[in-house]
Homo-oligomer: A and B are copies of this chain.
């Protein structure tokens, strides 16, 4: 059907007949997993939805999203609960300290998930926390089982466990084709952290 060149732009707004929470997994070795979760938080804000981000293994290295989400106001809570990447050279904390942190974080995540106060829960780097046995796979599967059906749950980090992928609705694998740091370019604020 041909339209006149002057056809005015009509903006549609989707509205699902059956609103439901989705389980989304963002895994892989490339840049853009936490970043993608932050984008979902920003998008959710546009719909007036409330988000809670629990960051595992992060907390010892400043990242722009910590202050970025403050600009989104009271629709977003962010908890950077970790002490950095367990096992990464130079990290001064013991495995037991990392595990204690991660265990407190999973309890916090469960509390927020069941609170009724949030539409979207992000468990950032949870896949890594499982891989390093700071959190047990069974604990993550229990959260998936307990998830209220209208709440979205986003899980990020490399090496997503097969059991989590199996239960998710949407799973993306972010693969590194190139990364600036391999060309000895330092991490840059706004892009890398």
Contact = CB atoms under 8 A, between A and B. Distances in A.
Contact of A93 (B3, B34, B62): B3
B42 A68 contact: yes
Given A2-B104, A83-B9, A188 B20 contact: yes
Interface residues of A, number: 101
A96 to B, nearest CB: 8
Given A169-B183, A170-B31, A188-B19, A5 B94 contact: yes
A143 interface: no
Contacts of A175: 28, 172-175
Contact of A35 (B20, B39, B96, B173): B39
Interface string A61-98: 11111111111110100010101000000001110110
The residue among A35, A37, A75, A185 with the most chain B CB atoms within 10 A of its own CB is A35
A172 B176 contact: yes
A193 to B, nearest CB: 6
A27 B96 CA distance: 39
A78 to B, nearest CB: 10
Given A2-B104, A4-B97, A152-B190, A22 B185 contact: yes
